[in-house]
Amino acid sequence: MYYLYSGLLLLTGLFSVNFIYGYQSKHIDPHFWATLKYQLLVLPLFLFINLCIGYGIKFGYKAIGNLSYVLVASKGLEILISLLIGFILLKEIPTWKTWIGLSLVLAGFAIAKIK
């Protein structure tokens, strides 16, 4: 059950934080005061997001028992979410170099799991 909790919390937290910054880069004027106003408006959301990510890592650690694996897996998930947000909000198409980089992260995770 900890796997499910960890995955859902990490997915929610990482998707939210990437969506907030992706939305900011696309729709918010880059001038200081507009950015400050936007950041102050979304500041309460970051409490929820930090709790989601923190408890996602905590439950992942309880499920797997090794923090390094959990952090590498969450980083891989964050990269996938970043690609998705870039595609949805910024209309960025991932190149072959992007997929090679992601496969290297996943290969590193697999190598780290080998005893």
Model-level pTM?
0.83
Residue 115: what pLDDT?
67
pLDDT mean by block of 10 residues, the chain; 115 residues? 91 95 87 91 95 96 89 87 89 89 83 75
Residues in the chain, total: 115
Among 73, 47, 46, CA closest to 60: 73
Where in the chain are the domains? 2-113
Distance CA(11)–CA(3), nearest Å, equals 12
Contact assessment for residue 60 and residue 74, using Cβ atoms and an 8 Å cutoff? yes
